[in-house]
Structures are given as C-alpha cells and as structure tokens.
Amino acid sequence: MKKLFVVLIISLVVMQSCVTSLQPLATYNTAIVDDRLAGTWNSDGQDYEVQKFFDSDLFKYIKKEMDKYKGNADKELSEKEMEDFAPMLYFKSYVIKYTKDKTEYVMFGSMVKLNGQFFINFAPIDINTDKNKEQASEITWLATHTIARVQFPNPNSLKLDFIDGGFLYDQVKGGRMKIKNERDDLYDTFLITASTDELQQFIQKYGNDDRFFTKENSVTLIRKS
C-alpha cells in the first residue's frame, strides 16, 4: 500500500506558535494510561474521538493486516519489522481522530506525569480523504511532536494548554532558557532537538511557569460520551 507523507498541524486550535519537538516527550516506560482521556469530545462544534490504542479502530486494522500473514513464513513480518510498524510507545498511547471538511485526521497521544502535572505528546499519523479510503489508517511515522499540558477541571471537561512557542523562542534566543534546538531567525522557525530525557528535564524545570501557556494556545473539550 502506498504511504501517505502527511504534514499535519493539529487543528484542535489554530495556532502558529505551538512548539514542535523532534523527539517525543513520552517513552514506553514513562507513558501513562488515564481512563479520563478516552471518549468523544467536542470543542466549538468539532468532535474528537479518543481511543486507547488496543481499543482503537487503528489497532483492529493492524491486527487484521497481521492476521493475513499468519502461517505464511514468506510473508510474516519479522520482529524488527513489527517494531518498525508499531513502536512500543504506542501500546500505551491513545488514537485521536476527527473529521473536518470531509478529511479525517488521525494522531497519537502519549501522556506523562511530570512534577504532579500531566502533559500529552501529539504525533500525527495520517490524513484520509474520500479519495483514499482504501489507504485509511496507513501509518507514516513522522519525527515531529507537539506538547500540551493536560488538566481535568471536572469529569466532563478536558483542558489542553499548548506551550507558547513564541515565548519559548524568545527565552531561548535571549539566553534565559537553554534547550537544544534548530532555528531560523529570519523566518522565526523553531524546532526542539533535545533528547526525550532532556525534554522531560526541561518541562520539569519550567512547566510550572504560567508564562509557558497562553489563552490563545489553550482549548477546552467537553465530553459527549
């Protein structure tokens, strides 16, 4: 099957200043599963479906594809190919789906708890349109991740505070904060290149600074089911 090379800007909120990281914030050993995340959510008329990986339509699709090759040594995937197809981290992650303008967007969400706060790491998987239904759920691993703080104001609401990329960019550029990055000052592009451990240490150090999060970079989801 043909892979889709997707450029996905998470449109839970339209923001130009979200932080993008080359490495994920979560690892298999640090990712946590929280039942409060799963369900159908709504924000400003847009629905978002959040499923645990092993309960997701994506997992069912993967299992169906793997079952096709059982008993056929020539076609069975090797252990290395299985690891490439579904990295272990996603076994403790969530699949998030939403449809906008007849286009379905799919991403992974992996949550960690740092200094008593929850943070979620989003990674895009795929975009499906009416023209490529047969390619639905085809995974293309992209080395880009977006981070948000997660708060649960009550059982029926979920608040996501995305890191203010503009603030972080200014702090790093001014030498007031340090984290490995690649940036182009001419075009104001900024990519965090720190390792996962370094990224976690950075969040632990600065994650309680409210200047990291602005109203424009936040979205509240209301539970539908």
Residue 30 in any domain: the answer is yes
Q: Cβ atoms within 10 A of the Cβ of 21, count?
A: 22
Residue 91 in any domain: the answer is yes
The whole-number pLDDT of residue 104 equals 87
Domain that holds residue 64: 20-223
Reply yes or no on whether the pLDDT at 78 is more than 50: yes
Share of the chain above pLDDT 90, in %: 46
Q: For the segment 20-72, what is each residue's pLDDT rounded down to a tens digit? A: 898 999 998 899 999 999 999 999 999 999 999 999 988 888 788 777 767 66
Query: Which ranges constitute the DSSP H helices of the chain?
Result: 57-67, 79-85, 165-173, 196-206
Total of domains in the chain = 1
pTM, full prediction: 0.80
Residue 8 in any domain: the answer is no
Give the distance from CA 140 to its chain's centroid: 13
Bigger pLDDT: 174 or 100?
174
Residue 6 in any domain: the answer is no
The whole-number pLDDT of residue 61 equals 82
Q: How far is CA 201 from CA 38, 111, 156, 190, in A?
A: 27, 15, 31, 19
Bigger pLDDT: 214 or 44?
44
Reply yes or no on whether the pLDDT at 150 is more than 70: yes
Residue 187 in any domain: the answer is yes
Residue 89 in any domain: the answer is yes
| Mean pLDDT score, 93-109 | 90
Question: What is the Cα–Cα distance from 120 to 26, expressed in whole angstroms?
Answer: 8
Residue 7 in any domain: the answer is no
Question: What is the Cα–Cα distance from 90 to 173, expressed in whole angstroms?
Answer: 33
Query: Smallest Cα–Cα separation from 206: which of 181, 172, 158?
Result: 172
Query: Smallest Cα–Cα separation from 145: which of 120, 170, 168, 165?
Result: 120
Residue 2 in any domain: the answer is no
- Cα–Cα–Cα angle for 181, 183, 188, rounded to 5 degrees: 135
